[in-house]
Amino acid sequence: MRTFDYVITDESGFRPLSAGELVSAAEEFESHIKIVTGHKSADAKRILSVVSLGARKGQRITVETEGIDEIVAARRLRRWLTENM
């Protein structure tokens, strides 16, 4: 399993559009991908799950990838978050 933390910098946090784009990026991988924030966690391949986190600007999230392509998934999702959130 690979994990990394990221602090949301986007003013709107995880709104439906950005959550949908994140889900699309996560769906490219076979690994299970989870986003954790506070006491909540979400399946990164399910838009309603990601939106329900309610992640806002300044909030720290942890992304966990586990599976055959976990290393590549973690790298690409970190890059996606940096470029988009």
Residue 85's pLDDT band (cuts 50, 70, 90): confident
**pLDDT computed for residue 77 by the predictor:** 96
12-62: pLDDT as tens digits: 887 878 888 999 999 999 999 999 998 899 999 999 999 999 888 999 999
Q: Number of helices and strands (H, E) in the chain?
A: 3, 4
**pLDDT computed for residue 54 by the predictor:** 86
Model confidence at 71: pLDDT above 90 = yes
CB 85 within 8 A of CB 9: yes
Q: How many CB atoms lie within 10 A of CB 68?
A: 10
CB 9 within 8 A of CB 57: yes
**pLDDT computed for residue 63 by the predictor:** 97
Distance CA 14, CA 25 (A): 14
